[in-house]
Structure 1
Amino acid sequence: MARAVRFDQYGGIEVLYVADVDVPAPARGEVLVAVRAASVNPGESAMRQGYLADLYPASFPSGQGSDLAGVVTQTGEESGTFAPGDEVLGWTDARTSHAQYVSVPVDHLIHKPANLSWEAAGSLYVVGATAYAAVRAVGAGPGDTVGVSGAAGGVGSVVVQLLRVRGAEVVGIASPANHAWLRAKGATPVEYGPGLAQRVREAAPSGLDAFIDTFGKDYLELAIDLGVAPERIDTIIAFEAAGRLGTKTEGSSAAASADVLSELAELVSSGRVEIPVAATYPLDRVREAYEELERRHTHGKIVLLP
């Protein structure tokens, strides 16, 4: 038996619990991973609350979680290059990573670089793929100045760094507590709140060329008001507003591949990109992990350590 997060109905944090379940057996093309780290993400919170039920309905009892890093303990047939004892990172589409063991398709895994921490490895896929897709969507590169909302959050912090890797200048919207970190990453920080548009204009007197929103619809309207063309605006959250304003909505599914994950893992393991970790929790404290996540003011990732 193993421990795994479950919920039996849509609802708030109170519906989450940890159950004893059978250890899964890997099918053809899968391996069984003993999970060392698995981050929590806003999308999982939205699914559990039923906000995405039309798109991604749950079957109860439902598991939870996508990101994971751990050690291969068993292989199914056609397990590719993976063998018991291998350290791996990746993702599952079956909502099962918040558990001690999970069976994962081999094309959803890569070998973990030795110098990559478990916490960073278990947090990389969702924020990394989402940030990668958003940066690619707006075509950012040298000579561009890009605004980023939620610039110190889980996805936003990676967006900022990928933009800098590509040679773009960044205006990062975040609370003052995160301004020193943004400056250290080469971004120009701007405080959110009343008067934001004027502060952005002062930070980027030649204007913004693109905008990536990781927080909400008001920032799409801000980007339009600042003169950014809709085709160079991407949001990972404000889908209704994007449809109305004609902006892009590319996120993790647009960059869901082992090749992208390998590229991201190399950037992190080489020190060119950092995955900030705000807090870690044991599996039995999953409710506390989501309480912290849903405050929406953490700098970096919150990670379960099963």
Structure 2
Amino acid sequence: MPLAAQFSEYGTTDELTVVEVPDKSPGPGQVRLAVRAAGVNPIDWKLLSGAMRAQMLLQLPAGLGSDVAGVVDQLGEGVSTWQVGDEVLGSSASPAFAQSAVADAGALVAKPAGLPWEVAGGIAGAGATAWTVIDDLALAAGETLLIHAAAGGVGTMAAQVALARGARVIGTAGPDKHELLRSLGVEPVTYGEGLADRVRALSPAGVDAVLDASGRGEIPVSIELAGGPERVLTLVAFDQAASGVRIHVGGGGADSAPAVAGIVGLIQEGRLRVPVARTFPLADVAAALELSRAGHVAGKLVVLPV
């Protein structure tokens, strides 16, 4: 039987264990994957902690993980878009921190030959979110975008999508991540007190739009720099709705495959790369979630079940 990470009670990563689970069978319109890589996202440790019980009440014992890359090994009824042996990536319908998972056929895109598994496994959630929010901000060529937490999973991809569309990107991060941002084409600034002055030193007129992937109190300075809240979008500061900024929920949306395909296309064109901060075997999934929860990670964390 395949192995999977599960928890029987909400709480800390101490609740996670790797156990044998029954083989899954894909339903109509689904495929089963031999999982090669699964990206870690903040929602994973939030689900484990019970912080999202009001939005997503899980039937325990439960697993985690939704970003997936793997090899199709079984087809559900009515699936003609994929064949056994196809290498794919996207979003899973069952927990992805496992050796086997099922996914809706339409939630997957083909993995390009030569794309490393750890990169493929880290694309779906952050990539679809990045693509969607840049669309939502209606960023035009020649405009300047400020990204808070620009070195994170969503931040690095959103920056590169914006750059590929002809925008200029300024990104906040700790000094130890500035070189990474420069390598992506982002102009780095250090977050914290005096941020507005540091941004204006690079862009005296302020910025055209702001993406907040940090949630550490940057909304007032973002509104100031953007000249109003209309083009300030946050992924995390849900308590700031009254300020007039845009609150983005739902990641890449229900139909995220086109956005994921867009990210993959930029990778194939050499215009986007996915920094992978660290990989973990399935047995160390708890350590991966702890590192994600602590924050300040440059790039993606990815679990490699095999």
Q: TM-score range by the shorter chain?
A: over 0.9
Judging changes above 3 Å, is the alpha-carbon distance between structure 1 residues 93 and 204 closer, same or farther for their aligned structure 2 residues? farther
CA distance in 1, matches of 2:173, 2:216: 16
3-state SS of 2:246 partner: coil
3-state SS of 1:102 partner: strand
1:203 aligns with 2:224: no
**Paired position in structure 2 for 1:244:** 242
1:151 aligns with 2:189: no
TM-score of the aligned structures, taking structure 1 as reference length: 0.95
**Paired position in structure 1 for 2:138:** 139
Q: Larger deviation: 59-68 or 191-200?
A: 191-200
| 8 Å contact kept, 1:190–1:203 | no
Aligned pair count? 304
| 8 Å contact kept, 1:210–1:229 | no
3-state SS of 2:253 partner: helix
Judging changes above 3 Å, is the alpha-carbon distance between structure 1 residues 255 and 78 closer, same or farther for their aligned structure 2 residues? closer
Q: Structure 1: any 5+ residue segments left out of the alignment?
A: none
Cα deviation 1:83-110 (Å, max 9, x = unaligned): 111111110244x111000111101111
CA distance in 1, matches of 2:218, 2:53: 25
TM-score of the aligned structures, taking structure 2 as reference length: 0.95
CA distance in 2, matches of 1:253, 1:147: 20
**Paired position in structure 2 for 1:281:** 280
How does 1:21-170 map onto structure 2 within 5 Å?
21-94=21-94, 96-170=95-169
> Which one-letter code corresponds to 1:262 in the other structure?
A
> Which one-letter code corresponds to 1:178 in the other structure?
K
| 8 Å contact kept, 1:133–1:250 | no
> Which one-letter code corresponds to 2:174 in the other structure?
S
1:250 CA displacement: 2.5
> Which one-letter code corresponds to 1:244 in the other structure?
A
3-state SS of 1:274 partner: coil
CA distance in 2, matches of 1:175, 1:258: 32
CA distance in 2, matches of 1:76, 1:219: 46
**Paired position in structure 2 for 1:212:** 211
1:293 CA displacement: 1.4
CA distance in 2, matches of 1:85, 1:176: 44
CA distance in 2, matches of 1:54, 1:23: 30
Cα deviation 1:148-182 (Å, max 9, x = unaligned): 00000111111111110111111100111111221
> Which one-letter code corresponds to 2:134 in the other structure?
V
1:255 CA displacement: 6.9
CA distance in 2, matches of 1:157, 1:97: 23
> Which one-letter code corresponds to 2:111 in the other structure?
K
Q: Larger deviation: 193-202 or 63-72?
A: 193-202
3-state SS of 2:296 partner: coil
Q: Larger deviation: 153-162 or 254-263?
A: 254-263
| 8 Å contact kept, 1:146–1:168 | yes
3-state SS of 2:294 partner: coil
CA distance in 1, matches of 2:229, 2:254: 21
| 8 Å contact kept, 2:209–2:226 | no
1:54 CA displacement: 0.9
Q: Structure 2: any 5+ residue segments left out of the alignment?
A: none
1:226 CA displacement: 2.3
3-state SS of 2:247 partner: coil
> Which one-letter code corresponds to 1:216 in the other structure?
G
> Which one-letter code corresponds to 2:55 in the other structure?
L
3-state SS of 1:110 partner: strand
3-state SS of 1:218 partner: coil
